[in-house]
Amino acid sequence: MRILITGGTGFIGQQLARRLLDLHSLALEGQAPQAIERIVLFDAFAGDELPDDARIERVTGDIADPRVVASIVDGVDLVWHLAAVVSSAAEADFDLGMQVNLHGLLNLLETLRKQGSRPRFVYASGFAVFGGTLPEVVNDDTALTPQSSYGMQKAVGELLVADYARKGFIDGRVLRLPTVAVRPGKPNKAASTFFSSIIREPLNGEPAVCPVRPDTQVYLTSPRRIVEAMLRGMTLSPETLGNQRIIPLPGISTTVADMVAALQRVAGPDVTRLIRWEPDATIQRIVESWPSRVEARRASALGFTADADFDAIVRAHIEDTRLTL
């Protein structure tokens, strides 16, 4: 089994790759397990702390370059497409966001279509496909209303993957991800990056800035749940999925104040004192445009699960990063 992970040097790509290496084989629903022979990690950046394993192949390049993409998809069986310019960066640089998030995806899909092997394909979308005036609870049938360039690009990407699957060019499935916290590593340019930094940095004894009000609501999931969802989304059979290939994932609804309270319960008040509240109207506007309550019935019926609460997410981050409090 040959696997391609675009955005492979990002934190989700790395964690997914490590999990696949540990599994050694993967059983698609209704099929016998197949050995994982090769995992191509493709990204615009070389990355660091990547798995040191002979089954890993690292390729650096531009996802929108047809020649580069053609060189990495030959004989591929499974594709996880995680490569993306994140929300604030896509909003600040429209051309870059379009090149990577839209033209890069279309280039990958067209290359696979011309190759004709019809691999399984998981596309990572997000709830930024919604915005503006929303119902109190977003569900599987809520119409897409993106209010950012990033959200628009992800919404178009969802429809592209669904239609390429309908036409039989790929066996595609779309996972609509909640905001992921706590992300390891360093802050990035995503509007949501502070959701991780206000937990991660104080746990490391470092100050962190929260740019939104304490009562700001958010819909979250953990890195552990995302890796599980990536695997489940790939292994589900076409018969189980049917014609509807877009799956909004379950998560937990909470507020920033409750996140900080959970951090204090787990790690103590000295840690939360490292958080400074410095309002940023732009970040507040972007975050408030996202859904904060989601009813993911179809995903739950398909076996996708949410975290118990934010306390569990903080504890999982401490365990996974081997922090000593």
pLDDT digits (tens, 9 = 90+) for 193-237: 899 999 999 999 999 999 999 999 999 999 999 999 999 999 999
Higher pLDDT, 289 or 177: 177
Neighbour count for residue 47 (Cβ, 10 Å): 17
User: What residue type is 163 in one-letter code?
Assistant: D
149-182: string of b/e by CB count within 10 Å (b at 16+)? bbbbbbbbbbebbbebbeeebbbbbbbbbbbbbb
Q: What six digits make up the tokens of 159? A: 């429809």
Give the C-alpha distances (Å, rounded to integers) separating 261 from 129, 153, 168, 320: 29, 35, 48, 21
Average pLDDT over residues 171-184: 95
In this prediction, residue 191 carries a pLDDT of 78
Strand-strand pairing, 138-139 and 38-43: unpaired
- Report the catalytic residues: 150
Q: Is residue 69's pLDDT more than 70?
A: yes
Q: What is the mean pLDDT of residues 296-320?
A: 96
Residue 278 · residue 209 · CB < 8 Å: yes
Strand 25-26 and strand 34-35: the pairing is antiparallel
Residue indicated by tokens 């040959």: 2
Q: Does domain 2-178+223-248 have CATH number 3.40.50.720?
A: yes
Residue pair 14/51 in contact by the 8 Å Cβ criterion:
yes
- pTM score, whole prediction: 0.94
Mapping DSSP to helix (H, G, I), strand (E, B) and coil, where does residue 290 land? coil
* Residue range 8-22: mean pLDDT, rounded: 94
Average pLDDT, the chain: 94
pLDDT value, residue 324: 61
| pLDDT confidence tier of residue 325, bands split at 50, 70 and 90 | low
Query: What tokens appear for 161 in the block?
Result: 């993957």
Under the banding of pLDDT at 50, 70 and 90, the label for residue 292 is: very high
49 has a pLDDT exceeding 80: no
pLDDT of residue 185: 78
Q: Is the pLDDT of residue 132 over 90?
A: no
| pLDDT band with cut points at 50, 70 and 90 for residue 184 | confident
